[in-house]
Amino acid sequence: MKLGTWDPRTIVNLARYPITDLDSPDARAVIAEGRAQLARDGLCLLPDFVTPQALAAMAAEGNALATDAYHEVSWVRGSDVREGALHRPQRNACGALAYDRLAPQSPSRLLYEWDGLVGLFRELLGVERFYRCADPISSCLVMYYGDDDELGWHFDPNDGVVTLLVQSASTGGDFEFAPGIGRDPAQFDRVMDGGRDGVIKADLKPGTLSLFRGKNALHRVTSTAGPRPRIMLTMSFHDRPGMMFSEENRRRYSGRIVDDAGRTLGTATTPSSPLVAPPPA
């Protein structure tokens, strides 16, 4: 597949998001609007963040590599952060294409690796410390949600996830985000029983970039159906440099045992922990 020659300046929609100079008045306006969204919702959405050409290239790349993705279904109790925080098993069913499968000239990889993106997020979050993760597999993933896939309610292990919707599913695949309820189990019950007070259903369109702090905010992707998969570029950041995910996390998203240096030591497609039996139908 020909990827073309991409550069962050041809990937990012600089006409709408002039972020190559974060001190310019136009960039300050973008930052002020994003900060207001974060203050209100704990979530910042930047529609049409990439150029139509880059979005088309990312979709072509994502669809072409779909057969290389590793798909797994697991029932998970708890989260990477605090086991047992979620007392109801959650179903995770999705495919992932690992970071090390993205070509050097992949527009998705080049976007993630562009320092200008980190600079924008530092401004939006009002923090000095915000870094790309260093994990060879999970730092930057292309996620696939096909027929009957979903990502159950969870918290993230790292403190900054940024997604770019590349392609929406034929049906479903909504991103639901509950910033206000913290880690209160009584509130989890309410939300999992269908209560939607305090839950934001994000209006994601292909090309929308979302920045959210999901370490302490319950969120999920609703189930998908139909022939066209939801394709999501999922980019991870943290408040200290060098953040690595667990070996189990890498296994979950690659089907391989990979060490911190990125060496593949073997394949392991059998889910290990933390698994529980699915609830009765």
Q: Which residues of the chain form contacts with ligand AKG (CB under 6 A)?
A: 143, 151, 156, 161, 163, 175, 214, 219, 221, 232, 234
Task: Report what 235 binds from ligand AKG, Fe ion, none; CB cut-off 5-8 Å by kind.
Answer: none
Least distance CB 27 / ligand AKG (angstroms): 26
Residues 6+ away with beta carbon under 8 Å from 26 = 18
Task: Report what 163 binds from Fe ion, ligand AKG, none; CB cut-off 5-8 Å by kind.
Answer: ligand AKG
Task: Kindly report the backbone phi and psi dihedral angles of residue 78, in degrees, each rounded to the nearest multiple of 5, phi listed first.
Answer: 80, -165
| Cβ atoms of 53 and 10 closer than 8 Å | yes
- Pick one of 123, 135, 150, 156: the residue that binds Fe ion (CB under 5 A): 156
Closest-CA residue to 249 (of 90, 66, 72, 63):
72
Which of 214/255 has CB closer to ligand AKG?
A: 214
Which of 109/219 has CB closer to Fe ion?
A: 219
Q: What does the alpha-carbon distance between residue 60 and residue 55 come to, in Å, rounded to a whole number? A: 9
Least distance CB 209 / ligand AKG (angstroms): 11
Burial class (CB in 10 A: 0-12, 13-18, 19+), 1: exposed
How many Å separate Cα 45 from the centre of its chain? 13
Task: Report what 90 binds from Fe ion, ligand AKG, none; CB cut-off 5-8 Å by kind.
Answer: none
Task: Fill in the DSSP letter of residue 170.
Answer: S
| Cβ atoms of 231 and 143 closer than 8 Å | yes
Which of 27/96 has CB closer to ligand AKG?
A: 96
| Cβ atoms of 156 and 214 closer than 8 Å | yes
Least distance CB 19 / ligand AKG (angstroms): 22
Least distance CB 7 / ligand AKG (angstroms): 26
* Binding span for Fe ion by CB under 5 A among 70-78, 186-194, 214-222, 253-261: 214-222
